[in-house]
Structure 1
Amino acid sequence: MMGHGDIDQLITMLARLPGLGPRSARRAALALLRQPESRMLPLAHLMERAATRVKTCSLCGNLDTVDPCHICTDAGRDRGLICVVETVGDLWALERAGVHRGVYQVLGGTLSALAGLGPDDLNVRPLFERIEEGGVREVILALSATVEGATTAHWLQERLLPTGVTVTRVGHGVPMGGALDVLDDGTLAAALTARRSL
């Protein structure tokens, strides 16, 4: 790359991050290197601290500095309402939106024959344990609108139905502000199938 071992290693490591390709990694590295005292060293310190302090919540799978996480221990949360998501990023997105006041279950992925991920690879045991303890009224399946997401939702639904807990799935379809003529056929089909009365 640039002919400088440490700089090349920094760029290579940054390029491994999601959303950063080689160009973005070079720009990020340059921004860090130009201001090491105000950018690079504080970032390195925070990354080291996060690496040693952040842990996975044993109840839901969220990332936090405490276990159980702040969401699971929040007395204002509705523990009878569990939203199942694929990743911590999905959980964070729902939290940013402020639309869910229950608790979560992070699966850590979806069922995928191609990727070799089966039921044992998903973080579902804590979900069933919470249901067995009682008090859970509804499980919301907030999984992606992909073949893997649908397969995982179907698999979970089959296993949850005997528990007597209400199982729902987030709506899929036309996004707010979305024009019908630019949506793909699958999205339009999902929107029409999931229509509701007004």
Structure 2
Amino acid sequence: MQKELVAGAVAICLLSIAWFGGLFGDNVGESDLEPFPEFSTVADDGLTYSNSNYEGAPYIVIFSAEWCDSPCHSTMHALNSTLNGPPIIVFSTDPADNPQGISLTEWHDRSNSYDDDGDDLGQTLDFPFAKGIEQAEEVKISSRPSIVFVNSEGGIVNIHKGGLSDSEVITSSWESAGGTL
């Protein structure tokens, strides 16, 4: 009988701790995510983009480089088509102004035409291409492409390193950031 009372008292104590801990403790979750680094950059369209452009909604950052064709181009198109044009910004990790003679505008055009069959029937990549060297360093990007899924609070939910074309992985990562299809 005494063991049952002790066991009951221990159970009540543990439940109380768990309950009060939930009320007064830190919630582990989205607020604990690493924030995406601050940025303000002029893109290939001549406009300035910053974190505030993406405030309050999930978005995707693709780290690539002007000279990265496939798998970078195929990843951009896979994300765009699977998610039907989500908010995306593409950052180059190459510090050179025009690496291998390729400007941001030429890079965007080359990426855009990647899926064209000669008749320009492919999809259009309607997102900005800009430099993001400091952001890549802060997030510790070492491979191109790398895809960062950011939630509506600016927290990094997932980083996928390498090419990405699997629609299930794309959809799952996007939804985990709070995105909808």
TM-score with structure 1 setting the length: 0.26
With a CA cutoff of 8 Å and minimum separation of 6, indicate the structure with the bigger relative contact order.
2
TM-score normalised according to structure 2 size: 0.28
Which structure features the higher share of helix residues? 1
* CA radius of gyration, larger in: 2
